[in-house]
Structure 1
């Protein structure tokens, strides 16, 4: 027991105060992540949208995310990460409050696009903040801490959302608005006058900054290919937020509360184990080795959904998916930050965020289409195949990077 406690302490050692404060802001913001996992069920059961309409609205969610990620990267390099993050958090509050009043397919699709356009300008700016405030030798840990906060919020949010949904779906939107407002207040208080660390740039590029012309993230061929594979990984992984809740409800006949707990379990696992896992593997294996294995076992977790077992099996599949996520996503951010120079961090982190956001355009539409026309079994076989193909792709491109 003492060894385990010491391992936990070591996994957090060296993280800056700013990294902890950024994680706190992210935790508050993501505790309000109630809308996303229940959006497909809200449209299906409350608004009586067809699966095709659900897929298209979620595609608008992804399109807004793509535009927001690109815009956030550009704005961060132009105006700084503080202004972009504060503005994004503040502007999302009124949109969440009025969203329940848009109940037609066209109006809801437009509002979901606007919401994610504004909300996702936050992501690249926040990633740049982590890189600027973290100690260079603890960059992956800092990203993992930030993700841990995201997932702790995501474990709390769906559980709360499941409870609120039993009364009214409208309360989910109001809960999101309250969380965004609280995160904005905390962020402004802590970071309004705080200066970034001068040594925040990863060591791998400190010499290149002095001797090499800044690369354009969007004209960097290996990085472009890397982001294509990140997008493919995300298209498969983000079935978690679109078709997986529908699968639980329609095939496994679970209630909203049960679904919220199962989705929240993913965040709980990541909170408990991600820092330990990253601390254990980052100095023993290369990012390439870790990402190959992580992507592969994420594919296995989706394959498990075709087995005719009960709730315990679903929790096991979710646990394995969470391990795959922990072994993949923190290292995508580290690789992106390490490839950039100080002058191009916003563009590089924005491009990487864009690759994940782009997946949100195609992932829900393809997922709901396959589920409706070919069944959930075909969907999970397809998802597993994409994950395994992506694992091979990471193996190839990371060798070149």
Structure 2
């Protein structure tokens, strides 16, 4: 047992103190993110919106994310990641508090767009921050530690959120989410010194190697794969909670426990798994392939049986795919970004999740409305199998390219 513990701790050795602090701030921020996993339930149960209306609200969520990540990438390259992170956290905290007072459909669409526009400027900035504060050779593990903090917070947040909903009200979540964002922002400002990225900002203006991400064929194919995978992944945060409630009759606190399982598995196993895979020298694009395939399996198993225990199996499969695919796809995006363009590349990479929100929630809600949950899971499975084949094609293209032969 002591050897297992020692080996686990060794996975975290060598990471810079700044990466640890960024992870702590990220944990504080994500621990308060109780609103998002329950947003679709809140909109249906507390606000009385229909499923198609919820789909359009979540599309507004995606549009805000798209605009925010694009601007976040641009601002990261021009004014630096530090200012972007601090401002995004603080202003989004205020936005979460105010969101609870919106009652109309169009008002909620506008409000959720504005809030996520501010909040998701954080995404490209935090990836560049991980690169800036990482020691040489530790970028993938640094990203993994930040993801671990995200998922530790995300596992605790929904669990507490589900309990709060069941015992108090939905409104309390907005206050907690907003205040934790503000606390994270102030903590970062007071305790972490700004640092220029590994590419000095003054040099970035003068020296930009390579081409923009939009003219990089390999990266655009990778972007399409990430969008397609993300469209299906986001179903776990809008359609899936409704499935838990309407088909398997789970209460909000039990739904919170399922999301806790996701985060707990990532916290315990992701870093050792990533370290092991790195030692095996797995290709980053092949790791991305396994992430897509395991996500596909997590949907199709739901059609095998009506036994509610299958929800746990599906969550484990999805989590395993997330643990393998996400850290390596993050690292692959950074690796493909030339000098002076990391903010733009990571901005576009983050925008892939924004596009996923734009199309994913709306498509999922309408598919369930017009077909059924079972048929929706089948169509998602078939779609993801096609995406996994596309990922293998990317692997072959990168393998045959001298610049990316190890990716």
User: Shorter-chain TM-score: which interval?
Assistant: over 0.9
1:196-215 equivalences in 2 (<5 Å) = 196=196, 198=198, 213-215=209-211
- 3-state SS of 1:228 partner: helix
Kindly provide the CA deviation profile for residues 103-123 of structure 1, in whole angstroms up to 9, marking residues without a partner as x. 110001100000000000011
Equivalent residue for 2:326, pick from 329, 332, 347: 329
Deviation at 1:198, TM superposition (A): 4.7
User: What pairs up with 1:186-197 in 2 under 5 angstroms?
Assistant: 186-191=187-192, 193-196=193-196
- Measure how far apart 1:136 and its partner are: 2.8
Q: Find 1:379's aligned residue among 376, 381, 390.
A: 376
Contact 2:265–2:319 (Cα < 8 Å) also in 1 = yes
Specify the alignment match of 1:99 in structure 2: 99
Cα distance, 1:376–1:130 mapped onto 2, change above 3 Å: same
| Structure 1 unmatched ranges of 5 or more | 201-209
1:175-186 matches, cutoff 5 A: 175-186=176-187
> Which string of whole-angstrom CA distances, capped at 9 and with x for unpartnered residues, describes residues 276-333 of structure 1?
1101112312112222222111110111111224333211210111000111011111
Instruction: Tell me the distance in 2 between the aligned counterparts of 1:5 and 1:197.
Output: 34
- How far apart are 1:199 and its partner, in Å? 8.8
Distance 1:262 1:249, change over 3 A: same
Task: Kindly indicate whether residue 43 of structure 2 is the aligned counterpart of residue 46 of structure 1.
Answer: no
**Which consecutive unaligned segments of at least 5 residues does structure 2 have?**
201-205, 399-407
CA contact (8 A) 2:132 2:195 kept: no
Contact 2:288 2:328 in 1 (8 A): yes
* Number of corresponding residues: 391
Dislocated runs of 4+, deviation >6 Å: none
Q: Distance between the aligned counterparts of 2:110 and 2:343, measured in 1?
A: 27
Q: 1:118 to 1:305 in 2, by over 3 A?
A: same
- Indicate whether 1:128 and 2:138 are aligned: no
Superposed displacement of residue 387, structure 1: 2.0
Equivalent residue, structure 2, for 1:204: none
CA contact (8 A) 1:19 1:134 kept: yes
Q: Select the residue among 210, 225, 229 that pairs with 1:233.
A: 229
Go from structure 1 to structure 2 and tell me whether the alpha carbon gap of 1:317 and 1:9 turns closer, same or farther (over 3 Å shift): same
SS in 2 for 1:34: coil
Once the 2 structures are TM-superposed, how far is the Cα of residue 395 of structure 1 from its aligned partner? 1.2
Q: Of residues 262, 266, 271 in structure 2, which corresponds to 1:270?
A: 266
2:279 matched residue in structure 1: 283
Higher mean C-alpha deviation, range 288-297 or range 331-340: 288-297
**Residue in 2 that maps onto 1:368:** 365
Match of 1:141 in 2: 141
Distance 1:334 1:213 in 2: 19
Question: Is 1:249 aligned with 2:245?
Answer: yes
Structure 2 residue aligned with 1:26: 26
RMSD of the TM alignment (CA)? 1.7
* TM-score for the superposition, normalised by structure 2: 0.93
TM-superposition CA deviations, 1:80-127 (whole Å, max 9, x none): 001111111111122111111111100011000000000000110111
Structure 1, residues 203-236: CA drift from partner, whole Å, max 9, x if none? xxxxxxx998342122211101110100000001
Q: CA deviation at 1:385?
A: 1.7
| Cα distance in 1, alignment partners of residues 56 and 199 from structure 2 | 44
Choose the corresponding residue for 1:296, options 293, 298, 304. 293
Cα separation, 1, equivalents of 2:361 and 2:30: 21
CA distance in 1, matches of 2:209, 2:344: 15
- Number of the residue aligned with 2:395: 398
